[in-house]
Structure formats: C-alpha cells, structure tokens
Amino acid sequence: MTFIAILSIFVMACFVGYYVVWSVTPALHTPLMAVTNAISSVIIVGALVASAAAGSPVAKWLGLLAVVLASVNIFGGFAVTARMLAMYKKKERPAATEEKRHA
C-alpha cells in the first residue's frame, strides 16, 4: 500500500472514532471503554507479531514503542473504567445513622 492510502485510512478512522464516541449516550460509555481496552490488547498482539517478523532494528524499536504505548493505554483504560463503575455502586451508610433510624 502507498503512504497516501495508509494516511487516508488513518484519517477516516479518526473521523469515525470521533463521531462514534461523541454520539454514544453517557450510559454506554463504560461498555465502550471496555471494548476499547479489548481492542488495545489486540494491538499489543499485532505489535508483537509485527516486531518479531521485522528485519530492521528500527522496526523492532517501533514495535516495542507500540507495545509500551498500548500497555499504558490498557492500564489507564482499566483504571478509568474501574472508577466509572465505582460511581454506580451504592454508598454504604454509617452504622450510627442506621441505629438512629431504627430507634
């Protein structure tokens, strides 16, 4: 593939991703983040395969960079998803207020 073809696919993917994320209702942001974490894990596998088959040292370093950046993305995504899910948990009430209510 030529550089122009690869660049045009990248630009179209950026536009599609932008419109998909901003058109999702707020209730679906948590599942969307979980799916993007899964996609990042596929990117890590692809980067490992591509860097293993690469012959030049530059390609191997780019593969390592892809693995590191995707790993940071996955870790951050899971951290944000955990915080988002924690917002939906019911807050526990202190025992003192429960005793006052029953008294």
Give pLDDT tens digits for 42-91.
888 888 887 888 778 888 888 888 889 888 888 888 888 788 778 877 77
Q: What is the pLDDT of residues 81-91, one digit of tens each?
A: 788 778 877 77
Q: Which of 7-11, 22-26, 27-31, 40-44 has the highest mean pLDDT?
A: 7-11
Q: Give the DSSP letter string of the chain.
A: --HHHHHHHHHHHHHHHHHHHHHS-GGGHHHHHHHHHHHHHHHHHHHHHHHHH--SHHHHHHHHHHHHHHHHHHHHHHHHHHHHHHHTSPPPPPHHHHHHHH-
